[in-house]
With several copies, the nearest count.
Chain A
Amino acid sequence: MKINVLAFGIVKDIFGSASIETELNGAPTVEELKSTLEEKYPRLKQLASYMVAVNNEYAQQQQVIETGDEIAIIPPVSGG
Chain B
Amino acid sequence: MIDIKILDTPLNIQSCIDWVMSPECGGIDVFIGTVRNATKGKTVVQLEFEAYESMAINEMKKIAEDVLQKWPVQKILIHHRTGLLNIGEVPVVIAVAAAHRDAAFEACRYTIDTLKHSVPIWKKEVFENGEVWVAAHP
Query: How big is the B interface, by class?
Result: 20 to 34
CB interface residues, A 52-77, toward B, < 8 Å: 53, 56-57, 72, 74-77
Q: In terms of DSSP, what is the predominant structure of the interface of chain A? A: loop
Docked CA distance A53–B56 (Å): 11
Taking a contact as CB atoms under 8 Å apart, the answer to whether B136 and A74 are in contact is no
Whether A53 contacts B55 by the Cβ 8 Å rule is yes
Complex: A6 Cα to B80 Cα, angstroms: 21
Report how many A-B pairs have Cβ atoms within 8 Å. 80
Which B85-138 residues sit within 8 Å CB-CB of chain A? 91-92, 112, 115-124, 133-138
Stretch at the interface among B9-17, B44-52, B69-77: B44-52
What are 23 A-to-B residue pairs whose CB atoms are below 8 Å? A6-B52, A8-B52, A8-B122, A9-B124, A9-B133, A46-B137, A48-B137, A74-B52, A75-B122, A75-B136, A76-B135, A77-B122, A77-B135, A78-B123, A78-B134, A78-B136, A79-B92, A79-B116, A79-B121, A80-B33, A80-B116, A80-B119, A80-B121
